[in-house]
Amino acid sequence: MSMPNYITPHGMKNLKKELESLLKVERPKVVATVAWAASNGDRSENADYIYGKRRLREIDRRMGFLTKRIEAAQVVDPREHKTDKIVFGATITIEGESGVAKKYQIVGEDEIDTSGGKISWKSPMAKALLGKSEGDEVCVMKPKGEEWIEIVKIEFI
């Protein structure tokens, strides 16, 4: 049995939005370009035709991937959690040894945005935080070595 594909409602909405955009906007444009290029005759040296066919394969591959991810997804709404511990979907404010506060949300693999503070529930940081409470100190392994952080706040938004 494979690992579950946990995702927040916002993440699911984004996956569906991307799939719909590919299906209803981008793919029809590329199909039209390929049809036009094919009508010009010799396809062997027709860059519009060759690139268009390649782009169609990329779009179809991405649509297949998104469809599988959406079908396998288990939507977890963070606002439904009634706990004081860190679980999937939680937004956590931490403070490192340097005294700088940072905010992270633990999300699914399809939602990762490290610059936006969204980390995968499978990441070392999330694994160290899961199950902990406000006020706990946690040792996190980072590329530069280990760092102790304190959990300042836990929210489910």
Q: Is 18 exposed, middle or buried (0-12, 13-18, 19+ CB in 10 A)?
A: middle
pLDDT higher than 50, residue 1? no
At residue 118, what is the residue type?
K
Q: What is the pLDDT of residues 87-128, one digit of tens each?
A: 999 999 999 888 889 999 999 999 999 899 999 999 989 999
28 to each of 17, 54, 68, 96, 106, how far by Cα in Å? 16, 14, 21, 49, 36
Q: 117 near 131, Cβ under 8 Å?
A: no
Averaged pLDDT of the chain:
91
Distance CA 62, CA 26 (A): 12
pLDDT digits (tens, 9 = 90+) for 26-67: 999 999 999 998 888 777 788 889 999 999 999 999 999 999
